[in-house]
Structure 1
């Protein structure tokens, strides 16, 4: 592919993948487990995300091809770990899809959040089936809308609300609670590895990709920190923990209830954009794994007219719709974080074999620590599903031999 992207272009694409709807919903469950300690959790999540992204960037420079850690794990650690990474990605990102769909529902029509969420999944499955992709222009528009909404919320809170510094302290969170919050807030950083997948399109990828990762992550962390501090200072940890739509609740608390629809519309747009991107990504990874016979081979089909993996997209749409109807947004976030953290643990282990030691080691330890300290229900459910994938692979491998 043509190497046209410089550092600025790569940073913009990275911001498009990172600054999304996660911040609209992840603050509440983090406050529920850590109170004001969610700010410490945000910093821990950012450090782990940075290590993961750098490890992915180094691997992408070595293996500039589609598949991400599914490829890196296979090439550096063996086929079993490549499969485990791909399976963890599909599982975790399927839960991310459900969380984003429920975010749409909670902001667009709170009284019927689940029904709206399922309808959004069905509609976007049809759009993906018809070959409508998320373009670079649409990405920029969605990022602009999300940033505008976040800026709007912060300005209203700081300018006319009742933010109090005392609400930022006072809780005495346990280390376990802070780590739980970090694992849940990790969900809001999902997407940074998009930069690492640009290896074939970036000029001087070994230099440009790590630099772009650090810049994009730094900007994202600043934005998220400002929003988290403003919302926490306005609501306090108790009220924030109880909110299904935290930013709308913050605007309402600031005395601007009439402006809630603006925030809700922006959040719903951002969540819809994130949901479309996630479903496209999961369906493509499903297709790749089906080609390698790690998933049912019947999913290997490309529509003759639309040029899309229509069977994989339909399968992903059905599974996401079912999950969305059965879980709540907080459970979906925890389950998603567990799967994605395991995915990046394998990425860090793969990067460790390149001869780079410190960053992959910190990333690996951080991912595993945050994964096991997530809410127990998420850990148990995630472990069961990931283990089922590993056992299935082992049985298939034995039969093949």
Structure 2
């Protein structure tokens, strides 16, 4: 069986995680979170960060133990059994396909609003081609994207906090949303933190995975959390929760409200770049999970092929790119975020359950971490809007039915 080449170091892995997280959270999830909880989204952000930390720690320990492509699909299979690994892989693929649609459409809406779907399809095609030519080129492109996004976000924070219109009173938590609203905001913002999964799914392509992955995941998560907190506070201070909730492009509107109109086009360009960075990492991660599931026969085995020159799962990448291109032609950004969050939270529920079974000799984290992560994932998943929960549960049920049917035929 052909294997992928180990070419990525800690810095490359951190940047791939940052590229996946920064675009999703800042430019796509803040407005829906404000709609759910108002300024209580800051509490939701804290809840999402705690759950993400637990998930990251569990994933890092498992990835060091099982440094192969596939992430929690592999961990669930090895620690809990074939069905749970399959369910995690299925949840990841369908949930992250929705994430790809959200990111591609975000890029289209910021770059050329009147032709957002056409731009989104073109972006998927272009980034699939980049991934096809090798993971090192993907990492180099991600490095450039992350640098641009961090510069834009720093400009947004400086403009908003330096504005005389910024008011600390807009950060006061509105108790009307209640615990349910805060949890729903946390669940929606969790969508933004899920990029560290890209690092784990690249386990077969990083050098010294037992050292690289446990270091890269918390570094990427910590940098992202600092950025999210700074941007959320600064935007809320200028717009307030109501304007933030209603804005399709809140960061651009925030800098205009802060009196920095000239910065708005730069923010729009930065948003498009950030979304493309997230899309690049998402396609990369989905194709690796597809590769792992194809190797085990849960998806067509032809998708397990590795390109002899570029050392990438080229058929899996082409298949993922084609499916995402079709989805973005019809998808809605905000619905995609909720659906994606449900699938990813189920994925990490399995990851935490798998981490619970590790022994001390295998590098098990403190028991409280996978326990809190598992409980937190379930609470956040079912705090999402009910259409997202219903759609996500239905798709998981279909996947479970397919697995059962395959087992009966094999038996």
TM-score, structure 1 as length reference = 0.91
| Cα 1:24/1:135, change in 2 over 3 Å | same
1:327 maps onto 2:331 in alignment: yes
What's 2:63 paired with?
Answer: 60
What's 1:23 paired with?
Answer: 26
Contact kept, 8 Å, 2:70 with 2:290, in 1: the verdict is: no
| Cα 1:93/1:128, change in 2 over 3 Å | same
RMSD: 2.6
| Cα 1:194/1:281, change in 2 over 3 Å | closer
Please report how far the alpha carbon of residue 133 of structure 1 lies from its aligned counterpart in structure 2 after TM superposition.
5.9
Moved more, 259-268 or 178-187: 259-268
SS at structure 1 position matched to 2:384: coil
Equivalent-residue separation in structure 2 for 1:10 and 1:306 (angstroms): 19
Contact kept, 8 Å, 2:128 with 2:317, in 1: the verdict is: yes
Equivalent-residue separation in structure 2 for 1:86 and 1:274 (angstroms): 20
SS at structure 1 position matched to 2:262: helix
Contact kept, 8 Å, 1:10 with 1:202, in 2: the verdict is: no
What's 1:106 paired with?
Answer: 109
Contact kept, 8 Å, 1:21 with 1:267, in 2: the verdict is: no
Instruction: Name structure 1 gaps, 5 residues minimum.
Output: none
Please report how far the alpha carbon of residue 32 of structure 1 lies from its aligned counterpart in structure 2 after TM superposition.
0.8
Contact kept, 8 Å, 1:337 with 1:371, in 2: the verdict is: yes
What's 1:144 paired with?
Answer: 147
Contact kept, 8 Å, 1:161 with 1:253, in 2: the verdict is: no
What's 2:376 paired with?
Answer: 366
Residue among 188, 193, 206 paired with 1:184: 188
Contact kept, 8 Å, 1:25 with 1:246, in 2: the verdict is: no
Contact kept, 8 Å, 2:59 with 2:351, in 1: the verdict is: yes
Equivalent-residue separation in structure 2 for 1:306 and 1:196 (angstroms): 20
Residue among 155, 159, 169 paired with 2:158: 155
Equivalent-residue separation in structure 1 for 2:20 and 2:178 (angstroms): 32
Equivalent-residue separation in structure 2 for 1:280 and 1:112 (angstroms): 25
Pairing of 1:194-273 with structure 2 (within 5 A): 194-196=198-200, 201=206, 205=210, 209-210=213-214, 212-273=216-277
Equivalent-residue separation in structure 1 for 2:233 and 2:332 (angstroms): 25
What are the superposed Cα offsets for residues 2-58 of structure 1, whole Å, 9 maximum, x if unpaired? 79956x776566545543343111100100111111000000000000000100111
What are the superposed Cα offsets for residues 149-170 of structure 1, whole Å, 9 maximum, x if unpaired? 0000111112235111121125
Please report how far the alpha carbon of residue 306 of structure 1 lies from its aligned counterpart in structure 2 after TM superposition.
5.9
SS at structure 2 position matched to 1:255: coil
Contact kept, 8 Å, 1:247 with 1:263, in 2: the verdict is: yes
Equivalences, count: 399
Equivalent-residue separation in structure 1 for 2:392 and 2:58 (angstroms): 24
Please report how far the alpha carbon of residue 174 of structure 1 lies from its aligned counterpart in structure 2 after TM superposition.
1.4
| Cα 1:44/1:265, change in 2 over 3 Å | same
Instruction: Name structure 2 gaps, 5 residues minimum.
Output: 360-365
Please report how far the alpha carbon of residue 244 of structure 1 lies from its aligned counterpart in structure 2 after TM superposition.
1.4
1:47 maps onto 2:57 in alignment: no
Please report how far the alpha carbon of residue 79 of structure 1 lies from its aligned counterpart in structure 2 after TM superposition.
0.5
Contact kept, 8 Å, 1:287 with 1:300, in 2: the verdict is: yes
Residue among 309, 312, 321 paired with 1:317: 321
Equivalent-residue separation in structure 1 for 2:352 and 2:74 (angstroms): 13
Residue among 376, 384, 392 paired with 2:402: 392
Moved more, 292-301 or 272-281: 292-301
Equivalent-residue separation in structure 1 for 2:391 and 2:209 (angstroms): 42
Please report how far the alpha carbon of residue 67 of structure 1 lies from its aligned counterpart in structure 2 after TM superposition.
1.5
1:77 maps onto 2:80 in alignment: yes
Equivalent-residue separation in structure 2 for 1:221 and 1:4 (angstroms): 23
Moved beyond 6 Å, runs of 4+? 1-4
Contact kept, 8 Å, 1:161 with 1:234, in 2: the verdict is: no
What's 2:349 paired with?
Answer: 345
SS at structure 1 position matched to 2:70: coil
